[in-house]
Amino acid sequence: MFITLLAQAAQPTPAGPNPLASFVPIILIFVIMYFLLFRPQMKRQKEQARLVAALKTGDRVITSSGIHGLISNVKDRTITLKIADNVKIEMDKSAVTNVIKSDA
């Protein structure tokens, strides 16, 4: 009886699945989310920052609220936008979403 107990105790237990293997799907999901969500958003933010940094007097722009106008003055954080004769508004630079290219 004592020998059978030793024989049973000496048998190695089967190894379970690798604990690291259970994290692979979670890691894969985060990698996919990075390339589908975060990276394109960072790319758009960099492009917007480049657009805002390149604003100059005389540019025709479209703002995030849909206002079309001509930049008449550029300050550190704001621009003065001429939208009609004798109508100028001061806006934050980050409100500019598009610079209209002239055909000339």
pLDDT in tens, 32-69: 988 898 899 999 999 999 999 999 999 999 999 999 99
Q: Is residue 13 part of a domain?
A: no
Q: Is residue 2 part of a domain?
A: no
* Whether 61 contacts 91, CB under 8 Å: no
What is the spatial distance between Cα 41 and Cα 25, in angstroms, rounded to a whole number? 24
Which domain covers residue 58, as residue numbers?
Answer: 22-100
Q: Is residue 44 part of a domain?
A: yes
**Model pTM greater than 0.85?**
no
Domain with residue 38: its CATH number is 2.30.30
Q: Is residue 4 part of a domain?
A: no
Q: Is residue 5 part of a domain?
A: no
Q: Is residue 42 part of a domain?
A: yes
Number of domains in the chain: 1
